Amino acid sequence: MSFRDIPSSEVDRPYDHYTHRAVTAEDLIRYATSLGVEDPNYIDPDAAAAGPHGGLIAYPTYVVKLRGQHHLPPVVVEEMNTSTFDGGKDIQLGVPVRPGDEITTTSRITKMFEKTGRSGSMFFVTFRNELVNQRGEMVALIDCRSLQKLPLAEPEG
Distance CA 42, CA 58 (A): 6
Q: Which residues of 15-34 are buried (b: 16+ CB within 10 A; e: fewer)?
A: bbeeebeebeeebbbebbee
The set of residues, in sequence order, having a beta carbon less than 8 Å from that of 61 and lying 6+ positions away, is: 35, 91
Can you give the pTM of this predicted structure? 0.84
Distance CA 42, CA 149 (A): 40
Fold type of domain 3-23+67-149: Thiol Ester Dehydrase; Chain A (3.10.129)
Distance CA 31, CA 53 (A): 18
Question: Per residue in 57-102, pLDDT tens?
Answer: 999 999 999 988 877 777 777 776 777 788 899 999 999 999 999 9
Q: Where in the chain is the domain with CATH 3.10.129.10?
A: 3-23+67-149
Question: Per residue in 33-68, pLDDT tens?
Answer: 999 999 999 999 999 999 999 999 999 999 999 988
Distance CA 56, CA 42 (A): 6
**Distance set, CA 148 to CA 11, 70, 112, 126 (Å):** 17, 19, 11, 12
**Distance set, CA 22 to CA 6, 72, 81, 104 (Å):** 35, 23, 36, 10
